[in-house]
Amino acid sequence: MVPVSNFNRSWTSASGNGAASNPQVRARGAENLLRRLEWTVIRRLDGLLHGDYRTLFRGFGLDLADLREYQYHDDVRYIDWNVTARLRTPYVRVYNEDREVTAWFLLDLSPSVDFGAHVKKRSMATEFLAVLARVLTRHGNRVGALFYGNRVDTVIPARTGRRHALHILHRALSRAEGAGFGETDLRDFLQTAFGVMQRRSLVFVISDFISAPGWARPLAHLAQRHEVIAVRLYDPLEMELPDLGLLAMRDAETGQQLYVDTHDRAFRRRFAQLAERREKELRSAFGQAGVDALELSTGDDLVDAILRFADLRKRRSQLAAGGGLPAHLRGSHDVSMA
C-alpha cells in the first residue's frame, strides 16, 4: 500500500490513454455537439426557466438609473448606505441592465481534467461552456475564452453570434488530451485573465481547482472587478474510492505512477478524510473570494446542475433581502425573512 501524501492531484488508471480525434472529426463534432445541446439541454432550460436566465447572470452590466425606498424582496446588495444614513430610511439603487453583456470562459484544460470513471471532467467542462456560450450569444451578448494547459496558451477575443460560440467550442475540442505533464498553477491563469479582461464582465472559471496553492487571492482580486462564478469539476471517485483491489494509478499532473490497495479500509477511510478536508478548503476559498460555486460532477445531468445553481442564487438573494440589513434598520422598517 502506498499512502497518498498530497491529495491535490487527480490519479487516473495507468492503462487509460485517451487519443485525440482527427481534425475533420473534431470539426464535425463541434457542430454536432452544439446542435445536440441546443435540442437536449438549452430547450429544456428554456422551458424550466421560462427563458429567464437572470438568476444565473445577475450582478453585471448595470447602469445606475435612480434611487428609491427599500421594498420587500429587494436585493440588499443595492442598498445605498450613504443615502440610508442621511434619510434614516433604507434606499436602494435602481439599475438598468446594459443591452450587451460580455462573458468570459476561463477553461482549465490541464491534465487532471482528463480524469473520469465514466464521463471525463473535460467533457462536462466543454458541454457547460457550449451551453452557456450559446445561451448568451443568441441574445446578442459577447463571449470570449481563455484556455489553460500548463500555461495560458489560447485567448479568444469576445464576439457574438452562434458561429463564434461554435468557434470557441471547436477550439476547446481540438485540444489533445494528456498533452504532457506539469504542475497546474491557477494563480498564473487568473492573473493573466485579469490583465486581458478590462471591461466588467461575467466570468466563468471552469476548473477542478487541482492546482499549486496561491490561487485564492487572484480569484478574489478578479471578483472585485467582475461577476465571477466558479464552476468546480469533480468525479465521484475523487470523493470516495470503491473497493477494487490493487490498482495501478498515474498522477495526471506529473506522470508519477504508484500502486494503491483499495481493499484496505484504512486507506479508503484516509482517502475520504483527505477529500473532505479539500472540500472544506475549497468552500472556504470560494467564500472568502466572494464568488458563487457551481459544483459540476461527471455524474450530473447538466440541466439539473444548472437549475440547482440558479435556485441557489435565487434563494441567496431572497435571504439577503430579509437578513442583510443592520438590526436597527430591520426592526424599524419591516424587513423580514423571505
Structure-model confidence comparison of residues 322 and 94, the more confident one:
94
Instruction: Tell whether 139 is covered by a domain.
Output: yes
Are 308 and 61 spatial neighbours (Cβ–Cβ below 8 Å)? no
Of 87-91, 155-159, 278-282, 302-306, minimum mean pLDDT range: 87-91
| Residue range 312-332, pLDDT digits in tens | 887 776 665 544 434 333 333
Residue 276 C-alpha cell reads as: 473532505
> In the predicted model, what is the mean pLDDT of residues 154-180?
88
Of 54-68, 139-153, 223-237, minimum mean pLDDT range: 54-68
Residue 108, strand partner residues: 148
Residue 63, strand partner residues: 96
Is the same domain home to 259 and 284?
yes
Is the same domain home to 326 and 255?
no
Instruction: Tell whether 84 is covered by a domain.
Output: yes
- Domain that includes residue 328, residue range: 62-97+315-338
Is the same domain home to 40 and 69?
no
Structure-model confidence comparison of residues 144 and 63, the more confident one:
144
> In the predicted model, what is the mean pLDDT of residues 255-282?
89
Instruction: Tell whether 306 is covered by a domain.
Output: no
- Only one residue has cell 464552476, namely 231
Structure-model confidence comparison of residues 302 and 79, the more confident one:
302
Q: Over the range 238-258, which residues count as b (16 or more CB within 10 Å of their CB) and which as e? A: beebeeeeebebbbbbeeeee
| Cα–Cα–Cα angle for 247, 251, 255, rounded to 5 degrees | 115
Residue 44: CB atoms within 10 A of its CB come to 16
Is the same domain home to 160 and 290?
yes
Instruction: Tell whether 310 is covered by a domain.
Output: no
pLDDT value, residue 259: 84
pLDDT value, residue 120: 94
> In the predicted model, what is the mean pLDDT of residues 2-18?
41
pLDDT value, residue 23: 53
pLDDT value, residue 320: 55
Instruction: Tell whether 145 is covered by a domain.
Output: yes
256 pLDDT band, cuts 50/70/90, is confident
Residue 256 C-alpha cell reads as: 508519477
Are 337 and 324 spatial neighbours (Cβ–Cβ below 8 Å)? no
- pTM of the prediction? 0.77
Is the same domain home to 74 and 165?
no
Is the same domain home to 242 and 182?
yes
Is the same domain home to 220 and 285?
yes
> In the predicted model, what is the mean pLDDT of residues 277-286?
94
Counting the structural domains of the chain, the total is 2
> In the predicted model, what is the mean pLDDT of residues 288-293?
92
The alpha-helical segments, DSSP class H, found in the chain are 23-37, 43-49, 54-57, 81-87, 121-137, 162-173, 186-196, 216-225, 265-289, 302-323, 327-332
3-state secondary structure of 167: helix
> In the predicted model, what is the mean pLDDT of residues 68-80?
76
